[in-house]
Amino acid sequence: MSHEVLSQKEHSSFGGVVPEIAARAHFDFLHKMVENTVLDNGIKFSELAAIAVTTGPGLVGSLIVGVMFSKAIAYVTKRPIVAVNHLEAHALVARICHDIDFPFLVLIISGGHCQFVMARDVGSYSKLGGSIDDSLGEAFDKVSRMLGFGYPGGIIVEKMALRGRGDRFHFPRALVDRPGCDFSFSGLKTAVRSVIEGEQSLSAKNLISAPAILTLHSITVRDKKHRARGDLKRHTCTASLTQRLLLFL
């Protein structure tokens, strides 16, 4: 069919997403997105079975714009409208690209969410754990802001971390001895801030020679790799995850 992505660079100067600006950008560009996705690709609305729209969770203003726009299209085209949960979409999209049977384990990592979920079927999910404070995306963005890198911080921090030495600084791993599948990034974020304030030489200009401050990325990636190999004892989600999975599967 067709696929279209539009980034909102308007937030860069603010160091994060501004809800009002996000909602206005949705209002200004949503109709253009539909034109590019549907009309310009020769797709007819009569060929569509339904109109799907995200109804949450997310920024209320942006959600309202999307819902009202979709309801208008559904009314004019006489097509049913389908409400989509943002996180459920993240969980199920893998089944579009891969042949995955239920049940399966989902690690949802998006801007404001970080959680382990057991997907038993469409509409049937069990949350095994998640962040008890900040989301991973928020931690990335705030670390980027501390270092003067700007927004979006995740991709900037990731690129810098790949060029650094992982042994220069040592940061705490939260909830290592706590059973379950929860995460905590607030303490790690605070530790990074302390290092930045204590190291006068650390800045956006000279981090090429000292980018290990950005081990937020390496910690995350390394732990995901360890879990994938079955080494579940290094970080938050300990061997209890394996026990839970055996019960579910």
Tell me the per-residue pLDDT of 56-115, one tens digit each, with 9 for 90 and over. Answer: 998 999 999 999 999 999 999 999 999 999 999 999 998 988 999 999 999 998 777 889
CATH code of the domain containing 198? 3.30.420.40
Note whether residue 3 is domain-resident: no
Note whether residue 242 is domain-resident: no
Note whether residue 49 is domain-resident: yes
Note whether 122 and 71 are same-domain residues. Answer: no
Tell me the per-residue pLDDT of 217-232, one tens digit each, with 9 for 90 and over. Answer: 444 444 444 443 443 3
Note whether residue 89 is domain-resident: no
Residue 210 pLDDT > 80, yes or no? no
pLDDT band at 124 (very low <50, low <70, confident <90, very high): very high
Range of the structural domain that residue 70 is part of: 9-79
Note whether 68 and 121 are same-domain residues. Answer: no
CB atoms within 10 A of CB 196: 16
Half-sphere exposure of 132 (CA within 13 A, CB side): 14
Note whether 48 and 164 are same-domain residues. Answer: no
Note whether 31 and 142 are same-domain residues. Answer: no
Note whether residue 221 is domain-resident: yes
Q: Where are the beta strands (DSSP E) in 50-101?
A: 51-56, 81-85
Radius of gyration of the chain (CA): 21
Determine the pLDDT at residue 236.
40
Dihedral angle, C-alpha 34, 38, 40, 46, nearest 10 °: -130
Note whether 152 and 219 are same-domain residues. Answer: yes
Tell me the per-residue pLDDT of 129-177, one tens digit each, with 9 for 90 and over. Answer: 999 998 888 888 888 888 888 777 788 888 888 887 777 778 888 888 8
Note whether residue 142 is domain-resident: yes
Determine the pLDDT at residue 246.
42
C-alpha span between 9 and 24 (Å, rounded): 13
Share of residues in the chain with pLDDT > 70 (%): 77
Note whether 229 and 143 are same-domain residues. Answer: yes
Average model confidence (pLDDT) across the chain? 78
Note whether 107 and 174 are same-domain residues. Answer: yes
Note whether 141 and 233 are same-domain residues. Answer: yes
Note whether 37 and 158 are same-domain residues. Answer: no
Note whether 111 and 55 are same-domain residues. Answer: no
